[in-house]
């Protein structure tokens, strides 16, 4: 019997990767395999302390001879965990598109690449299909639900599919999780961000000139817009002549667009065909990710 290591990306991994590699390891073990889950990457802020304290953990990265690898949550070979090669890789499960054709050249590597909300959804489906539903205890359900919540932005992002919604509902039921589990999860992530708020804003600024949008665009996801610190945001953007900050509020599902600079107000009102709610704030009734806002600006400017 060969050893199997379940792993993911190279630099950072998020809760979707973390939860899915651990849950898939549990399934493989249940099926009689010698499986471990490990990563050489840094765990990002979507994996809060309470998740790390659940009873399931990563294994050590110690290399064993004749190990086969399974990669989850990425299918771009450049992003793979450093230990993975096309020779030792046996399976890929991912929800980012673009490399489906590339992997057709390697018929020995099994792939399931589908554009859905979360890899945790696929792992949940694999567990159910395998007949090993009994491995889904409360802690494993908490991890998989957190992965779905994070990657689909509380099931409100337009990438969310019915399969994600079903997996979420079933895992909530099987794990007997309370209805406010989403709030517990996002609040825990938020308090990690709050430990270094300025840095969190700075680390997610994109500088790219698109259409009539300001060149400097920040983004932050918050549970409730009341928790957002406008003063700290303004101090981060003080050095830029014009800027835009997309604050996605999960509870009401809206985007709060804060901005600064001459004429930005007029340009945004025109772009979204909507009046500003305050001098420096435009609220979108349905949230948009920054990449969706930039895509819209690109489309308008090319008309
Ligand atoms: Mn993912």
Give the residue numbers spanning the domain of 65: 3-188
147 and 245 together in one domain: no
Q: What are phi and psi of 288, to 5 degrees?
A: -120, 140
Is position 193 within any domain? no
- Cα of 95 vs centre of ligand 1, distance in Å, is 6
- Cα of 262 vs centre of ligand 1, distance in Å, is 38
13 and 78 together in one domain: yes
Q: Please give the residue that has the higher pLDDT: either 10 or 62.
A: 10
Whether the predicted pLDDT of 222 surpasses 80: yes
93 and 145 together in one domain: yes
Q: Please give the residue that has the higher pLDDT: either 301 or 37.
A: 37
Specify the number of domains making up the chain. Answer: 2
Last residue of a domain, one of 188, 213, 235: 188
Q: Is 115:97 a contact under the CB 8 Å cutoff?
A: yes
- Cα of 91 vs centre of ligand 1, distance in Å, is 16
- Cα of 297 vs centre of ligand 1, distance in Å, is 26
* Distances, alpha carbon 240 to alpha carbons 209, 214, 248, in Å: 13, 10, 22
pLDDT, tens only, 27-44:
999 999 999 999 999 998
183 and 202 together in one domain: no
Output DSSP code: residue 116: S
- Cα of 285 vs centre of ligand 1, distance in Å, is 26
Whether the predicted pLDDT of 184 surpasses 90: yes
- Cα of 251 vs centre of ligand 1, distance in Å, is 21
Three-state secondary structure call for residue 221? strand
Most confident of 36-45, 54-63, 149-158, 237-246: 237-246
- Cα of 88 vs centre of ligand 1, distance in Å, is 23
pLDDT, tens only, 225-253:
998 999 999 999 999 999 999 999 998 99
CATH of the domain at 113: 3.90.1640.10
Q: What are phi and psi of 143, to 5 degrees?
A: -65, -45
- What rounded mean pLDDT belongs to the chain? 94
How confident is the model at residue 150, as a pLDDT?
A: 93
pLDDT, tens only, 187-204:
999 888 888 889 889 888
84 and 178 together in one domain: yes
20 and 122 together in one domain: yes
106 and 209 together in one domain: no
Question: pTM for this one?
Answer: 0.85
- Cα of 151 vs centre of ligand 1, distance in Å, is 6
Q: Which residues surround ligand 1, an ion (CB under 5 A)?
A: 16, 73, 119, 151
Whether the predicted pLDDT of 1 surpasses 70: no
Helix and strand numbers (H, E) in the chain are: 11, 12
208 and 152 together in one domain: no
- Cα of 163 vs centre of ligand 1, distance in Å, is 14
62 and 124 together in one domain: yes
- Cα of 57 vs centre of ligand 1, distance in Å, is 19
58 and 170 together in one domain: yes
- Cα of 242 vs centre of ligand 1, distance in Å, is 32
How confident is the model at residue 143, as a pLDDT?
A: 98
How confident is the model at residue 103, as a pLDDT?
A: 97
Q: Is 7:38 a contact under the CB 8 Å cutoff?
A: yes
Among 46-60, 149-163, 168-182, 289-303, which stretch is predicted with the lowest mean pLDDT? 289-303
- Cα of 13 vs centre of ligand 1, distance in Å, is 9
- Cα of 294 vs centre of ligand 1, distance in Å, is 22
């Amino acid at each position: 019997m060969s050893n199997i290591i379940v792993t993911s990306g190279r630099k950072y991994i998020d809760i979707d990767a973390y939860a899915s590699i651990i849950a898939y390891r549990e399934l493989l073990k249940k099926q009689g395999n010698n499986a471990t889950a490990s990563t050489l990457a840094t765990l990002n802020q979507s994996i809060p302390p309470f998740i790390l304290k659940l009873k399931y953990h990563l294994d050590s990265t110690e290399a064993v001879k004749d190990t086969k690898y399974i990669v989850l949550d990425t299918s771009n070979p450049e992003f793979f965990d450093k230990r993975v090669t096309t020779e030792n890789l046996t399976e890929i499960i991912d929800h980012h598109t673009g490399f489906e054709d590339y992997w057709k050249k390697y018929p020995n590597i099994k792939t399931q690449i589908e554009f859905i909300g979360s890899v945790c959804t696929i792992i949940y489906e694999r567990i159910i299909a395998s007949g090993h539903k009994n491995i889904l205890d409360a802690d494993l359900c908490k991890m998989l639900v957190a992965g779905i919540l994070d990657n689909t932005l509380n099931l409100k992002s337009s990438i969310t599919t019915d399969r994600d919604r079903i997996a979420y509902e079933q895992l909530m039921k099987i794990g007997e999780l309370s209805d406010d589990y989403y709030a517990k999860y996002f609040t825990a992530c938020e308090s990690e961000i709050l430990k270094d708020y300025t840095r969190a804003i700075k680390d997610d600024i994109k500088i790219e000139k698109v259409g009539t949008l300001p060149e400097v665009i920040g983004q932050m996801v918050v549970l409730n817009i009341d928790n957002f610190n406008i003063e700290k945001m303004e101090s981060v953007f003080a050095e830029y002549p014009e800027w835009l900050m997309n604050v996605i509020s999960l509870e009401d599902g809206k985007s709060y667009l804060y901005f600064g600079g001459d004429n930005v107000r007029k340009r945004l009102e025109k772009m979204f065909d909507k009046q500003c709610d305050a001098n420096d704030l435009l609220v979108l009734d349905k949230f948009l990710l920054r990449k969706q806002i930039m895509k819209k600006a690109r489309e308008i400017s090319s008309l």
